[in-house]
Amino acid sequence: MPRKIIIDTDPGVDDTMAIFFALCSPELEVVGLTTIFGNVHTELATKNALRLLEIAGRSDIPVAAGAVDALTGPFEGPVPFVHGADGQGDINLPDPAGKALGINAAQFIIEQLRAHPGEITLAPVGPLTNIALALRLEPRITEWVDEVVLMGGNALAPGNASPAGEANIRNDPEAADIVFGADWQVTMVGLDVTLRVHMTPEDIAEYATHGNPMSDHIVRILPHYRRYFESNYEAEGIFVHDSSAIAYLLDPTLFKVRRWPIRVGTQGLGRGKTWPATGGHILPAWANRPLANVCVDVDGERVVELEAERLRGA
């Protein structure tokens, strides 16, 4: 039986790759996409999610639109210099034919978890607002979920949205602190590992040979995203954020994991930093917090190969 997942996403170039990677993996059944602000505003994230499912020929998968602002303040704004103003590398996709559900993301998550207790894994690859809202509305989702495997955070590595914080967490640190503090198993696939998963120009070029609509779309949207990495990191090609969380779901043995309680900085310069308590002495702020699985190392080449294998076979 494939593992059921809900991908909570802000598509986003790397979100797009992660969604397609999951759709091409028979071990996973995507029961829905829920959308969130981050790379773009939520309204555009929702349109993109619908459009991506149409490209994949999977309009049967429902989309539920999520929060438009963080728990305690307004969304700070999209990042067109990373993902393009359209979140899709500035290729100007036409509007989708389909529409989002009449219920919001948090309600959809609750309904699905209630209907399939123990069966669904949440895979958030954007800010954690929808997940925190679902927890607030229905705390029993911690009993109904299988696991939460998220892309976000930086335990031992520096941030990317600021020197301290990773973008998804920094967009709603209060929500992230709620999610890491809830009584469920959270696995954090953060910058500690995603910056070790490197797609070279040759890896990217190979997608152009696959000859299917998903790989063709990836080839169209990657150039803008790649320019961002090449002007900010000392490497050619891209690093693989959101798809690394999908790779963890498919094969956790590719990752080295440490188990630490996490607090999230919400103040000043440290806003958005995920702080693991790695030492023996646990301060009160970390005491009684659940242990998260924190990915600290990865077989990056294998993750890149696995994603290419799946898309090649689509």
Interface with Ca ion includes 172 (CB under 5 A)?
A: no
Whether 275 contacts 190, CB under 8 Å? no
Contact pick of 15, 172, 299, 307 for ligand BDR (by CB under 6 A): 15
Q: Which is nearer to ligand BDR, 110 or 167 (CB)?
A: 167
Instruction: Specify whether the backbone of 112 is left (phi greater than 0), alpha (psi in -120 to 50) or beta.
Output: alpha
Q: Which stretch binds ligand BDR (CB under 6 A): 133-141, 165-173, 195-203, 248-256?
A: 165-173
Instruction: Specify whether the backbone of 4 is left (phi greater than 0), alpha (psi in -120 to 50) or beta.
Output: beta
Between CA 28 and CA 249 the distance in angstroms is: 8
- Closest residue (Cβ) to ligand BDR? 167
Quote the least distance from Cβ 17 to ligand BDR, whole Å.
9
Contact pick of 7, 8, 13, 15 for Ca ion (by CB under 5 A): 15
Whether 235 contacts 197, CB under 8 Å? no
Interface with ligand BDR includes 226 (CB under 6 A)?
A: no
Whether 240 contacts 304, CB under 8 Å? yes
Cβ atoms < 10 Å from Cβ of 262: 25
According to CB under 5 A, which residues from 231 to 290 bind Ca ion? 242
Contact pick of 82, 186, 254, 292 for ligand BDR (by CB under 6 A): 82
Contact pick of 17, 100, 151, 296 for ligand BDR (by CB under 6 A): 151
The string of DSSP letters for 256-306 reads EEEEE-EEE--SGGGTT-EEE--SS---TTTTTPPPEEEEEEE-HHHHHHH
Contact pick of 16, 25, 35, 39 for ligand BDR (by CB under 6 A): 39
Q: Say if residue 12 is preceded by a cis peptide, omega within 30 of 0.
A: yes
Instruction: Specify whether the backbone of 162 is left (phi greater than 0), alpha (psi in -120 to 50) or beta.
Output: beta
Quote the least distance from Cβ 156 to ligand BDR, whole Å.
15
Residue with token string 């909570």: 8
Site residue total, ligand BDR (CB under 6 A)? 15
Site residue total, Ca ion (CB under 5 A)? 6
Tokens of 223: 């150039």
Contact pick of 5, 12, 21, 225 for Ca ion (by CB under 5 A): 12
Instruction: Specify whether the backbone of 78 is left (phi greater than 0), alpha (psi in -120 to 50) or beta.
Output: beta
Helix (H) and strand (E) counts in the chain: 13, 12
CA end-to-end distance (rounded Å), the chain: 20
Q: Which is nearer to Ca ion, 65 or 260 (CB)?
A: 65
Q: Which is nearer to ligand BDR, 96 or 190 (CB)?
A: 190
Which sequence positions are flagged as catalytic? 10, 241
Between CA 292 and CA 37 the distance in angstroms is: 24
Quote the least distance from Cβ 165 to ligand BDR, whole Å.
9
Quote the least distance from Cβ 205 to ligand BDR, whole Å.
22
Between CA 253 and CA 207 the distance in angstroms is: 25
Q: Which stretch binds Ca ion (CB under 5 A): 86-94, 124-132, 215-223, 287-295?
A: 124-132
Q: Which is nearer to Ca ion, 15 or 146 (CB)?
A: 15
Contact pick of 125, 161, 164, 169 for Ca ion (by CB under 5 A): 125
Residue ranges binding ligand BDR (CB under 6 A): 12, 14-15, 38-39, 82, 125-126, 151, 160, 166-168, 241-242
Residue ranges that bind Ca ion, judged by CB under 5 A: 10, 12, 15, 125-126, 242
